[in-house]
Amino acid sequence: MGSLADASPAIALTALDGRYRGAVAPLVDHLSEAALNRERVHVEVEWLIHLTTEQVVPGVRALTGEEQAALRAVVEDFSAEDVAELAAIERETVHDVKAVEYYLKRRLAQITPEEPGLAELIHFCCTSEDINNLSYALMVKGAVTEVWLPAATALADQVATMARDLAEVPLLAHTHGQPATPTTMGKELAVTAHRLRRQLARIDRAEYLGKLNGATGTYGAHLAAVPDANWPAVSRRFVEKVLGLTWNPLTTQIESHDWQAEIYADVARFNRIVHNLCTDMWTYISLGYFAQVRGQGTVGSSTMPHKVNPIRFENAEANVEVSNALLDVLGSTLVTSRLQRDLTDSSMQRNIGTALGHSLLAVDNVGRGLAGLDAVPTAMARDLDANWEVLGEPIQSAMRALGAQGVTGMENPYERLKELTRGRRIGQDELVEFVRGLGLPADVEDRLVGLTPLTYVGAAPRLVHDYLD
């Protein structure tokens, strides 16, 4: 038997690059190894332009507009051929960032052939981590703001739309799995939409930190080379004004990665709310509160023709769990480093794309799952009508209020309703008989007699419309 490892084109090892490639492909532009190299080239190019534009090194001229454009075109036109060239250089250097430096020196030699000395300002005074931390910050920022956040926001909006559409549809609540005070399906979905949006707001405010301060964060090489330059100011302007990141003024050799831990925790929390949504929707489907719309030509079960399985929600649960396992380990390990530097973060950060990829896949599946549902209000109404005992709560609450006002005959309301309802089903007739025998004021009696499990939803519909947005 031949080895699949030798197949051409190469067969994907992970599901994200194989079965689920279509759902996560946009992340490739931000979090792949090729994207990392492109960002390294980007940072190196902009650092060279920044040094010459600010004329930090005495006697070095500023690059012309044409020369700057030609350098930036190296980034804009970065292709599979460039990836291959970098890989070939790295096989010689056995160092990925040094390979980028040599690659750019080749390009600069074509742009300024008469001034070979300019090439020495590529990677000037930089440790590899200066380039890498900025590259990862740009990569994660792009992946989150341009890919993950729009998809996650669309899902939250989808849930919010369902909440508005179902704001008036009564639903028997189940606290601890037992019949409880009715609500509406829309109000329950609004809770989820509100929770998701809070996390999205936190993620939208995230800071992406970066540093450029040398081998141990002291600007030692910078000051040795050009002692009169205000290197912290040069660094800050580069990180903030050129790259659009937040400057970290105090670091070891590495940027501390605290910001990464913060954003991964927020994404993981969003994921967990999505997981909660999946388990709830799965349960509502099993109760018959939603019907799944069978897609044209789909198969629900390989052996049971009648079935349509809630596979989108189950798939999302699994992907959320994988994503969170990775996000949690990223957050817990990236914030630690032995003394001034160890290399664990280098390997760990290469899993960021996988972590966000599984989250993105979960978001995609939940969206598809929700889009394939039709609410079944009659099924919800049937369960409500079978649980008249839930009206024990409003009746005893009304009795409490009257008792507090001095109305006689309202003693022990909780205990009396408990005796009537606990451990057995009662219907409308028994409840009405009980209410009419309490001696309530006429208006209160009429209000309680007219109450049904379908109408006992409190302010649920109004809460959706007043507070969801």
Over range 434-439, report the average pLDDT: 86
Q: Which of these ranges, 44-58, 114-128, 388-402, has the smallest mean pLDDT?
A: 388-402
Over range 337-362, report the average pLDDT: 94
Over range 183-192, report the average pLDDT: 98
Over range 94-116, report the average pLDDT: 95
* Closest by Cα among 358, 154, 191, 166 to 280: 191
Over range 207-236, report the average pLDDT: 97
Percent of the chain with pLDDT over 90: 83
Indicate whether 365 pLDDT > 80.
Answer: yes
For the chain, the first-to-last Cα distance in angstroms comes to 60
In this predicted structure, what is the pLDDT of residue 297?
Answer: 46
Indicate whether 334 pLDDT > 70.
Answer: yes
Annotated active-site residue in 79, 95, 286, 301: 301
Q: Taking the model in full, what pTM does it have?
A: 0.93
For the chain, state the CA radius of gyration.
Answer: 31
In this predicted structure, what is the pLDDT of residue 407?
Answer: 86
- Give the DSSP letter of residue 424: S
- For the chain, the average pLDDT equals 93
Residue 249, Cβ neighbours under 10 Å: how many?
11
Phi and psi, residue 138, nearest 5°? -65, -40
Does 301 qualify as catalytic in the annotation? yes
In this predicted structure, what is the pLDDT of residue 298?
Answer: 53
Place of tokens 């003024």: 249
User: H or E element: which one contains 259?
Assistant: helix 258-286
Does 434 or 373 have the greater pLDDT score? 373
In this predicted structure, what is the pLDDT of residue 434?
Answer: 86
Per-residue tokens: 225: 């080379």
Does 257 qualify as catalytic in the annotation? no
Output the CA–CA distances (angstroms, integers) from residue 13 to 6, 10, 399, 415, in the order listed. 12, 9, 66, 63
Indicate whether 301 pLDDT > 70.
Answer: no
Over range 338-362, report the average pLDDT: 94
Does 370 or 414 have the greater pLDDT score? 370
Q: 3-class DSSP state for residue 289?
A: coil
d(CA 168, CA 166) in angstroms, rounded, equals 5
- What is the pairing mode between strands 209-210 and 246-247? parallel
d(CA 42, CA 38) in angstroms, rounded, equals 6
In this predicted structure, what is the pLDDT of residue 2?
Answer: 72
Q: Which of these ranges, 191-205, 217-231, 331-345, 423-437, has the smallest mean pLDDT?
A: 423-437
For 256-298, the pLDDT digits (tens) are 999 999 999 999 999 999 999 999 999 999 999 999 985 544 5
For 36-57, the pLDDT digits (tens) are 999 999 999 999 999 999 999 9
Annotated active-site residue in 3, 176, 306, 347: 176
